[in-house]
Structure 1
Amino acid sequence: MPRDTLTTEQIVRTAIELLDDEGLDGLNMRSLGKRLGTAATAVYWHVKNKDNLIQLAGDHVWGEVELPDLDAVDWRTAATTMATGLHAMLSRHPWLVQAFGSHLFHGLGKARHDDHSLAVYETAGFAGTRADRAAATVFTFVLGNVLGASAMASLTRRLNRDGGDAEALIQDTMAKAVEVAMRFPRLRTRLETPPGTDYAAAPDQTFEFGLQALLDGLETQLAGLRASSVATPGGREGPSN
């Protein structure tokens, strides 16, 4: 593809595809240029360097998270929709989770998401720093929930790249983990419960269960804030921190 027909949008979308397939370590200008059908040097007319490209790609994928209409749904439905969408996006792009530890992300995509997330919790009734804490708590829960899958994707790529049989190595490690776990009664009970379950696997719907439990807690806080507001002279809410 000639340099003058390339666009930053094309480069970013192709970089995301490459990152999804090969991870952070697999992204380089030579591989990207090959996918684009152009010389690697042509990419530099549109992006500064690899770090700049990762930042652009990282901000772009935030646009995949649905931002529900707060006039059409209640706050809890909106919070569930956004958290579920974020979980799905991070699961599709495990490299982004890994990149959080080595890159600083900013841009319209993430800012739009973060602003709407705050609006959800302000609509619920949280004010000031309470809205920030609620949004941050849900985000942290989602991020923590996808860390395992992201780490496994990175590990599998590294093992395969180093010439090993990733599947065999992982299975061997799991067998050893099961052997150790069998020495503990609660773990042994779960391992022996038919049908057999993967020792490393979380029970079905763990994410859904945890998210709803977290939102239950926020709803309980809201009820307490409302009760406190009613009890306060003048009906004013107390300090937000």
Structure 2
Amino acid sequence: MTGQLTREAVVDAALQVLEDRGLEGLSTRAVADSLGVRMNTVLWHVKTKARMLELMADAVVGEIGYADLPSPPRQRARELAHRYRRALLAHRDGAALVTGTYPAEPHTLRFADRFVDALLGAGADEEQAAWTGWTVIYFLLGLVQEEQAAPDQLDDRLARAVDASTHPALHRVAAHMGRDTFEDRFTFGLEALLARLPE
């Protein structure tokens, strides 16, 4: 069976298990069951669960397209960040999957290279380009992870928990913290980070 099964097929099956069960329900055994093979067969292709997660994370980043990117570097960096966010959101627990993995794999390296190239093109020096790239990715992963985990009744929870007399400052800004504000929060944070690039 190992000769008939490919690593790509195992990763595809793992992504489907992620969609069906979420990250907590993902295991090499669950992937093996979905493929109708023994767990050792899955491990022969991916070695460990940690390695499987790296390959899955790289596959998610591999869904980012690079056609029709804007020519101006700052706009290109902005668009790449938007596409990265959409790739994470396209998968259940996508941000939680990618967080904590460091795959030096083709898709991840390609995205990082394109993003850093845009930052360098916008006038950042090498250190600023590297650190801005990391900071944008950290921000994206954290925000999208919160967005994907946020309960549907988040707005109601906030309204009940934030009292004007006990939490006056939070009460004033509560309207800007609900579930439907993630897109605006993403744009605000991204623009704040890109604003540090040279003009």
Deviations 1:111-139 (A, max 9, x none): 11111111111111222212212322322
Distance of 2:42 and 2:61 partners within structure 1: 23
Q: 1:29 to 1:76 in 2, by over 3 A?
A: same
1:207 paired to 2:183: no
Shift of 1:83: 0.4
Shift of 1:77: 1.9
TM-score, normalised by the number of residues in structure 1: 0.67
The size of the alignment, in residue pairs, is 196
Q: Which residue of 2 aligns with 1:222?
A: 198
Q: 1:88 to 1:101 in 2, by over 3 A?
A: closer
Deviations 1:176-204 (A, max 9, x none): 6433313245655677xxxxx79642536
Deviations 1:54-86 (A, max 9, x none): 12111221112233677x611122111110011
Q: 1:42 to 1:147 in 2, by over 3 A?
A: closer
CA RMSD of aligned residues (A): 3.1
Q: Which residue of 1 aligns with 2:103?
A: 105
Q: Kindly, what percent of the aligned residue pairs are identical? A: 28
Distance of 1:213 and 1:128 partners within structure 2: 19
Q: Which residue of 1 aligns with 2:33?
A: 34
Distance of 2:46 and 2:11 partners within structure 1: 9
Tell me which structure has the larger Cα radius of gyration.
1
**Equivalent runs, 1:108-127 vs 2, <5 Å:** 108-127=106-125
Q: Which runs of 5+ in 2 are unaligned?
A: none
- Cα contact 1:20–1:94 (8 A) shared by 2: yes
Distance of 1:213 and 1:141 partners within structure 2: 11
Q: Which residue of 2 aligns with 1:59?
A: 58
Query: After alignment, is 30-39 or 91-100 more displaced?
Result: 91-100
Q: 1:137 to 1:7 in 2, by over 3 A?
A: same
Q: Which runs of 5+ in 1 are unaligned?
A: 157-166, 192-196, 224-241
Distance of 1:206 and 1:199 partners within structure 2: 9
TM-score, normalised by the number of residues in structure 2: 0.79
SS at match of 2:113: helix
Shift of 1:42: 2.3
4+ long deviations beyond 6 Å: none
Q: Which residue of 2 aligns with 1:182?
A: 163
- Cα contact 1:174–1:200 (8 A) shared by 2: yes
Question: Which gives a bigger RCO, structure 1 or 2 (Cα 8 Å, sep 6+)?
Answer: 2
Q: 1:113 to 1:103 in 2, by over 3 A?
A: closer
